[in-house]
Structure 1
């Protein structure tokens, strides 16, 4: 969001610490809340469950009562 210019710019306090201006972030939150209440935000589409691609990974687990190792 920051790279697309949709969020207030950050700046460096130290070489390893970045911060945002509280007033700018607070104004951004108020604008987002107002847009959300007015239903003008463009929401992301939900991906179809059947279109998801995942690796099937085997899991090995111990059963709680016997301690026997079982493939899930």
Structure 2
């Protein structure tokens, strides 16, 4: 959801997210954030990449692949 004018309220963002998750039905599953931060990959060179690195670790550990638009996340599926 993107608004060119003004701000999106938390309530509006929550409503949109809930609708997106509901529309996915059984295709959607939350992963538990059960991985400790042990070591960062070489490409993680600053605080701005720690979330990317952690998400990659979570998905890899759970046997799925992280899909992203960010070409800087080595090991993730780059969405064309």
Structure 2 length as normaliser, TM-score?
0.26
Larger RCO: Structure 1 or Structure 2 (Cα < 8 Å, ≥ 6 residues apart)? Answer: 2
Larger-Rg structure: 1
